Amino acid sequence: MTTYILMTSDNIGPYLHRALQVGADTIIDKGDATEGLKPYRSELGTIMIVDDTQLTISAVSQVLRGLDCGSIYTYTDPNSALQAYRSGEVRPTLVLSDLNMPGMNGFELVKEMKKIDDRSTE
């Protein structure tokens, strides 16, 4: 089972309800990723990071390495991440996605990934 965490640098409050509605497990502040990820240490096997900003990907990857995670797959384009997920190329235990990205936002990405999960358990 995959855990879905959305990340934002905006105020989390207005987004939390919608994040949970689409199937995300939580939403964390990008600026405090270390604290936000601590409760999910047991799920730090194969990780997919999706963010349109390479700087954020680098920073979050560094935090995860400090938490002794497994493999990290990074994507700056949510459509590429979705394709890798759909094809089974990457089967993450944890997906960390930016909330605001061009083309497909984090809500839409989680919703599409959850549809794939639902089909695979039928």
User: CA distances (Å), 88 to each of 15, 46, 51, 82, in order?
Assistant: 29, 13, 20, 10
pLDDT digits 0-9 by tens, 36-80: 887 877 667 899 999 999 999 999 898 888 888 889 999 999 999
Q: Does pLDDT of 33 surpass 90?
A: no
Which residues have a Cβ under 8 Å from the Cβ of 53 and sit 6 or more positions away? 76, 98
**Global confidence as pTM:** 0.88
Note the pLDDT of residue 106.
95
Averaged pLDDT score across all residues of the chain:
89
pLDDT digits 0-9 by tens, 5-19: 999 888 888 888 889
